[in-house]
Structure 1
Amino acid sequence: MKQHYEAIIREIGENIERPGLKDTPQRAAKAMDFLTQGYQHSVEEVVNGALFPSDSSEMIIVKDIELYSMCEHHMLPFIGKAHVAYIPTGKVIGLSKIARVVDVFARRLQIQEQLTVQIAESIQNVINAEGVGVIIEAKHLCMMMRGVEKQNSSMKTSSMLGTFRSDPSTRNEFLALMR
């Protein structure tokens, strides 16, 4: 990857030998590895069996999970928050594991619409919840820095599974708690 970054820097007309850029290709390669580390992890690995018996049948919500991802169309960041809710059926997942599931998918080249669905489906599959709801709100640098250059725009996406989709009162409770 380092050699490709060197080529890109040369292609834009910069001198790869100048002091400020001399180590940039290696740093950029390391940064890209970090930003896309989701490819090296699986949901099963990050959950690591952190499922616990529970009699709870009420909605559980984890709000404001920071996420950083890269738009697969322009390879520019999008930054935002995920809100994840589920209704357990006999077991709950460790709190930090929800944030780790978000990161598994966010730290890949991605579109927000698919990211939202992947998180919801993964949580559903891991804990067999009665329902799962995921809302993501993010700002996309591909829209802010280039193209239409709209600085204050943001995107919201949702994925509702199980009772979050089929029961309007469950969906409405979740949406009300997000306000």
Structure 2
Amino acid sequence: MAVDKEKLKQAIRLFLEAIGEDPDREGLKETPERVARMWEEFDRQRSFDFKLFEEFGDYNEMVLVKDINIYSLCEHHLLPFFGKAHIAYIPNGIVCGLSKLVRTVRAFALRPQVQERLTNQIADFLMEQLKPKGVAVVLEMEHLCMSMRGVMSPGHITTTSALRGIFLSDLRTREEFLKLIGKSNQ
């Protein structure tokens, strides 16, 4: 679904008025346009070509991209949550370009979200696209809805994980992943 730029600009203007701001003052008069352009940019990043490579079909060890910077918006308060994503998969005859793992994270994160759903969406998408032996996704995020409102306690990290296939059924594979991302007790 495409962003309705005009409706969004009207909504941001109304929002600014509703919180007691003057949307025509110098610092805010361009804000509705800026916000609309930002959401158009987010919308463009949600679709991408998930390029697969079969010529590396004999590679059957873990592929891991860790410390992927990730930003999203809490769907309950529209405040950011941000942190790191760690993604691994074990190929089953097909690999993808490494940038596609980063693009997958971005595609699902650039919309109002909850971290738990985001974690599952990434894992499920990779299972569907790659048909690997398994996928592991760990997200470590700080939520501004907890840091700057509510309990007002910054610095807390919420960790979620989604394990599929061999990462769920084989303890050694899971431990290898956790060790590689620095989360294992070993």
Identify whether the pair has TM-score above 0.5, normalized to the shorter chain: yes
> 1: distance between equivalents of 2:42 and 2:94?
32
* 1:60 Cα offset (Å): 1.0
Match for residue 23 of structure 1 among 19, 22, 30: 30
Q: Give the gaps of 5 or more residues in structure 2.
A: 1-7
Whether contact under 8 Å (2:74, 2:114) holds in the other structure is yes
What TM-score, normalized by structure 1, do the two folds share? 0.91
* 1:2 Cα offset (Å): 0.7
Partner in structure 2 of residue 50 of structure 1:
52
The letter of the residue matching 1:173 is: E
The letter of the residue matching 1:14 is: E
The 10-residue stretch of structure 1 (154-163 or 20-29) with the greater mean CA deviation from structure 2: 20-29
The letter of the residue matching 1:7 is: L
Identify if the C-alpha distance between structure 1 residues 57 and 101 changes in structure 2 by more than 3 Å, giving closer, same or farther.
same
RMSD: 1.4
Which residues in structure 2 correspond to 1:68-147 (within 5 Å)? 68-147=71-150
Partner in structure 1 of residue 17 of structure 2:
10
The letter of the residue matching 1:67 is: I
* 1:46 Cα offset (Å): 2.9
Q: Give the gaps of 5 or more residues in structure 1.
A: none
SS at match of 2:126: helix
Partner in structure 2 of residue 151 of structure 1:
154
What TM-score, normalized by structure 2, do the two folds share? 0.88
SS at match of 1:46: coil
How many residues align structurally? 174
